[in-house]
Amino acid sequence: MSRDIRISHVRITPVAFRDGPLLNAAGIHEPWALRAILEVETSDGRIGLAETYGDAPMLAVLEQARPHVVGLSPFALNLMEERLKAAIRPVPGAVEYTLAPGSHAAKNAAKAISAFEVAMLDLQGQAVGAPVVDLLGGAVRSEVAYSAYLFFKYAEHHGRPYEPDAWGEGISPQQVVAQARRMIALYGFQSIKLKGGVFEPRHEIACIRALSEAFRGMPLRLDPNANWSVATSKRAAEELDDLLEYYEDPCPGLDGMAELARHTRLPLATNMVVTTMEEFRRNVEKKAVKVILSDHHYWGGLRATRQLARMCALWELGMSMHSNSHLGISLVAMTHVAAAIPNLSYACDTHYPWQDEDIVRGGRIAFKDGAVAVPTRPGLGVELDRQALAKLHDQYLACGIRNRDDRRQMQKYDPSFTGATPRY
């Protein structure tokens, strides 16, 4: 491998793919989810891939980053980080949701660093003939477990932009159990997460109870996305105590979670109040959250995720992974880094079962017994299906969505919906 290889070109392709009418605290998923596909090309003709957020402000951030990355060696990760930390400026127009840390403009530099780091690691791996996990110290496991990520959902989108998905409505406990059965039959997952914060806590607890009865011994999680007050979260904790492996972001804010932590023996998990290294620092001072749900897309990359994992080990915190609607490149990147983390203590979240499209060659990534095999091919181990990429880019151009906005979408169903939290 020549040390003279340089990044010569960066191609950013926004894509849109079908997404289910999935309910959450902020509203409901729009019919099209956005991502950006990064192609980082080198002077010797290799292409490194990454996948990140595809909203308009993020595309502008990636454009800001582009000139600072062109000309670098794919090995110059530290220099890339320093340059982007210095160069990335706020971009107007971001629609920020507390439940989606990837939407926060304050994380722009970390998000851009992550995207370019993944693509550069893909290039490094291709150049040296090693999978990305080897560049992170090597795999400590040969497969990475994911959980069945259940959502309350409607049977179809407002306005029926395309044929309804095969999952049907998911509102009653029976429907939620049926959703879990279907997802586990298809993917083999061995733990279950329910995205809550949508209906009355009483209803959501009943759904957890139904899941517990239907899937004896299966680890369960509930994520009300900070849509419950501290008082509601405390009351619910008494009922959830024996049912959950962890209790994810029931109430808002680090102080609220710290208060709740003093009143429950359930470990509290978060992807909302510990989303940066600085918040990690405050959390260990306040002793609030016990399980950190990492996400390389906004934590600053795969190396930052490994850094976070070592800090979790040091402060005796559990660790797993958060997800947003995503495609196969993100899934393999998550799998590489998860394989390099000895103290990954829970199955990772993924929205992947909710998508039925992809832009990787060979079609959608396979799961076996709820897990993804750690790729052993050089780099990330995936290539682009250019026809699929063109199709999803056309969908992006046609769909008209430029910022994810779950609240606005919910108002199509219910004009009185405000999205104000905590709702319960």
Mind telling me the catalytic residues? 195, 322
| N-terminal to C-terminal alpha carbon distance within the chain | 58
Cβ(83)–Cβ(112) under 8 Å?
no
> Among residues 15 and 40, whose Cβ is nearest to a second copy?
40
Angle at 68 between CA 306 and CA 135, to 5 degrees: 30
Question: What string of DSSP letters covers 76-113?
Answer: -HHHHHHHHHHH----TT---BTTBGGG-GGGHHHHHH
**Coil, strand or helix: which one is 203?**
helix
> Among residues 78 and 416, whose Cβ is nearest to a second copy?
78
Nearest approach, Cβ of residue 277 and a second copy (Å):
5
> Among residues 36 and 261, whose Cβ is nearest to a second copy?
261
**Which one, of 324, 323, 251, 235, lies nearest residue 289 by Cα?**
251
Nearest approach, Cβ of residue 131 and a second copy (Å):
8
Question: What string of DSSP letters covers 208-262?
Answer: HHHHHHHSTT--EEEE-TT-S-HHHHHHHHHHHTTT-SEEE--SSSHHHHHHHHT
> Among residues 277 and 399, whose Cβ is nearest to a second copy?
277
> Among residues 20 and 375, whose Cβ is nearest to a second copy?
375
Nearest approach, Cβ of residue 312 and a second copy (Å):
12
Nearest approach, Cβ of residue 279 and a second copy (Å):
11
Nearest approach, Cβ of residue 337 and a second copy (Å):
11
Residue 201 DSSP one-character state: H
What are the phi and psi torsion angles at 321 (to 5°)?
Answer: -130, 135
**Interface ranges with a second copy (CB under 8 A):** 1-3, 73, 75-79, 81-82, 127-130, 134-140, 277-278, 280-281, 303, 307, 310-311, 314-315, 340, 342, 376
> Among residues 308 and 365, whose Cβ is nearest to a second copy?
308
Q: Give residue 265's region: left, alpha or beta (phi > 0; psi -120 to 50).
A: alpha
Helix (H) or strand (E) holding 28: strand 27-28
Nearest approach, Cβ of residue 217 and a second copy (Å):
28
Helices (H), 142-216: 173-187, 201-214
Q: How far is CA 60 from the centre of its chain?
A: 21
